[in-house]
Structure 1
Amino acid sequence: MRVLHIITGLGVGGAEQQLRLLLRHLPARCDVLTLTHPGQVADGLTADGVRVTHLGMGGNRDVGAVFRLARHIRAGRYDVVHTHLYRACVYGRIAARLAGVRAVLATEHSLGARQLEGRTLTAGIRALYLATERLGRATVAVSPTVAGLLRGWGVPDRRIHVVPNGIDAHRFRFDEIRRKEARAFYGLREDNYVMGCVGRLVPTKRFEVAVRALALLPPDVRLLLIGAGPDEERLRRLAEELGIADRMLMTGELACPPDPLLPDPRQDAPDLPSVLSALDALAAPALEETFGLAALEALAAGLPVLYTSAPAVTDLPRQAAPRARRVTGGAEAYARELLLLHAAGPGDRAAPDAVRHYSIEHTARHLMDVYTAVLSGHDLEASP
């Protein structure tokens, strides 16, 4: 089976890194085409032996990209076309049909009730999404929450299949040595209580809530902002205004998963699993998440997790992640919960049952079932 994955870009992001991890476990011959912005994840895929093509799309008005993409699909003689992220889903579905490929599916990574990939949903975006969705045979939702939103939009139930994001849990397992090494790298004392936030530094992540919470916490508490993005300077200025700039550290983008073929550009910088071992708690204050991969990775590292939105957690029974707690409100609410965690001291760093539920191997097997169904032209039994 030859599969072409089409994605909007390959910079560091949750959907992009999930695609790379998935391709390591899919028993199919997979190529990747990125419409724009090949970056660190493109380099990683190439290091894994995956053929990556950059279409060089010049923006939403580059209509010729559809025909270039159709020619690429036709030349590759692909059995299945699998699209990821909004722009790739729109252009990829049209191009696949022009190329004569009917086994087309899309994974919906970033759909929320009010936003799509961090942008406000408009009637125009929704109409174009629904019009092109009909050109495919299936839409994969990364959580039951997303499946419910798709049904609410009018996507037929028989076309929706829930295939949750997966995690390579053993890579994130807590390690005392990695904890000490990462803390030493960032100049953190062993007696510092360290909370972290993981993700793109963009307004929708609401990381300013964690920055403001830090100002309400004891002087021994530190904050690590793990990621990069356009909100970096604003968050830095906020910390200076609050007088806590010396207690907040920004790590930039970190290598994940550990990759000996693609070392971090800083050579000696810890990778994401090492930094998660160095933390004492994770804060995830975004109002709307499609899945909540950062929360799941933190749980795999045995961390207590405070979140506002994390379908990966809320779609499971409460006992599957007993140290994950939903927090409504802003900085004061997060500060109160962090004070309780701080006072309670370190707990067991074993991963909860929720982590085992999201095995990447299970995700890959389930997705292969969907591929087989779209190839045969038959619908799978709709996912719950």
Structure 2
Amino acid sequence: MADKKLKLMQVIGAKNSGGAELFYLRLARALAKRDDVELLCVVRQGSWMQKQLEAEGLNFKTAPFGGFFDRKTTKILKSYLNDFQPDVVQGWMSRACSKLPKTSVPTVGRLGGYYPLKNFKNCDHLIGNTQELKRYIIENGHPAAKTHYIPNFAPIPDERFKLNRADVRYEFGIAPEVKVLFIAGRLHPVKGIDLAIHALRGLPEHVHLMVAGSGKMKRELESLAEKEGVADRVHLLGWVNNITVVASAADIWLVPSRQEALGNVVLDAWAHGVPVVASKTPGPMSLIEDDLTGKLFDIEDVDTMVRHVEALLKSPRHGETMAENAKSVMLSNYSEESVLKKFISFYKGLI
């Protein structure tokens, strides 16, 4: 008789795209590929995530995931639990976890930020994706024995992605000799894109900034670029589903965030073999060994950011060495295979 499949229900209530949503999708893809797993994704009706799952043919159902007065979602989730009979339920972030019903099924909450734990009251176990988050969860009263650390992963692309470099640059009007600083992230104040625009003013004319991400700050950032006299060197691409395509144009990957609990973008940079210059927020600091796997600067310290970029432009070989070191760390600790193994082992330990 064949071994029984591990039945997993993964619940996320976000409307739009972001770092946590991207990792949810990556994990869902990885789980769906396994012969020993049966996966049900539950996502917000009409969300970005629903469109992605539809396009990829993954098994999903929807729920409203409304605000405080939404009572429907919990009832709907209960019906999905009764129908699917999962071995483990995992909720992602506050919105989904606050709607999870009380159940005898082992229930996990996954945190990617410093959320109030009251939203996770129906979760037996909590996962933080950094050691800092794990500490935060325990310090805020959750039992240490039921608090876990499992990092994110980033898929490592086929090396042939680099062949897109000339085409991507041509599409966005970036000359071959230009050096491209690349940011992947929402156009939101916490991501520090304004700081990168300020930094551009202190860098040579042949250095441009390319940003893959959408958000309400677009006009504000365009105005800032005009004011700083660098508008012709700033390229706001909008949201990009496949970061690999545009990453081929990058020379340095910037993470100038004011807040970054983990920083999927650091893992993405490592996976793509691009040297990273990042702010000393908790996520990047938990990953990067300064000057070995990336360069770190104090939050909002534009001058040091500029110095790090200049140093890497003057010594590209040092950037290549950092990227090689980072990829080695990535393969050992943050590859899809190694992280997926941790998740599967964790789930099996709950049943």
TM-score (norm 2): 0.88
Aligned to 2:39: 30
- Establish whether residue 81 from structure 1 lines up as the match of residue 89 from structure 2: yes
In structure 1, which of residues 180, 186, 189 is the aligned counterpart of residue 172 of structure 2? 186
1:313 Cα deviation from its structure 2 partner: 4.9
2: CA distance, partners of 1:57 / 1:243: 43
CA contact (8 A) 1:38 1:54 kept: no
In structure 1, which of residues 335, 342, 346 is the aligned counterpart of residue 306 of structure 2? 335
1:323 Cα deviation from its structure 2 partner: 4.1
Farther-moved stretch of structure 1 (100-109 vs 226-235) = 100-109
Structure 2 alignment gaps of length 5 or more: 1-5
Highest relative contact order (Cα 8 Å, sep 6+), 1 or 2? 1
1:235 Cα deviation from its structure 2 partner: 0.9
3-state SS in 1 of match to 2:177: coil
1:71 Cα deviation from its structure 2 partner: 2.1
TM-score (norm 1): 0.81
How many residues are paired up? 336
- Establish whether residue 322 from structure 1 lines up as the match of residue 308 from structure 2: no
2: CA distance, partners of 1:60 / 1:361: 38
CA spacing shift, 1:58–1:342, aligned 2, 3 Å = same
- Establish whether residue 353 from structure 1 lines up as the match of residue 339 from structure 2: no
Structure 1 alignment gaps of length 5 or more: 117-125, 257-271, 376-384
Aligned to 2:259: 288
Deviations 1:259-299 (A, max 9, x none): xxxxxxxxxxxxx2132221111111113212111112112
1: CA distance, partners of 2:293 / 2:77: 46
Deviations 1:47-103 (A, max 9, x none): 3332222212332221232222222222222222110011101112xx1x1xx3431
CA contact (8 A) 1:139 1:159 kept: yes
1:158 Cα deviation from its structure 2 partner: 0.5
Q: For residue 35 of structure 1, what is the amino acid of its counterpart?
A: R
Aligned to 2:3: none
CA contact (8 A) 1:102 1:137 kept: no
Stretches of 4+ moved more than 6 A in 1?
none
2: CA distance, partners of 1:109 / 1:174: 31
> Superposition pairs for residues 1-384 of structure 1, below 5 Å?
1-9=6-14, 11-26=16-31, 27=34, 28-39=37-48, 41-92=49-100, 95=101, 97=102, 100-111=103-114, 116=115, 126=116, 128-129=118-119, 132-133=120-121, 135-171=122-158, 173=159, 175-256=161-242, 272-309=243-280, 313-315=284-286, 318=289, 322-328=292-298, 329-345=300-316, 347-348=319-320, 350=324, 352-356=327-331, 357-375=333-351
2: CA distance, partners of 1:127 / 1:22: 23
Superposed CA RMSD in Å reads 2.2
Q: For residue 43 of structure 2, what is the amino acid of its counterpart?
A: T
CA spacing shift, 1:106–1:305, aligned 2, 3 Å = same
Aligned to 1:123: none
- Among the aligned pairs, what percent are the same residue? 23
1:333 Cα deviation from its structure 2 partner: 2.2
3-state SS in 2 of match to 1:106: strand
2: CA distance, partners of 1:6 / 1:70: 12
3-state SS in 2 of match to 1:24: helix
1: CA distance, partners of 2:267 / 2:65: 33
1:184 Cα deviation from its structure 2 partner: 1.4
CA contact (8 A) 1:197 1:226 kept: yes
CA contact (8 A) 1:11 1:42 kept: no
3-state SS in 1 of match to 2:208: strand
Q: For residue 56 of structure 1, what is the amino acid of its counterpart?
A: P
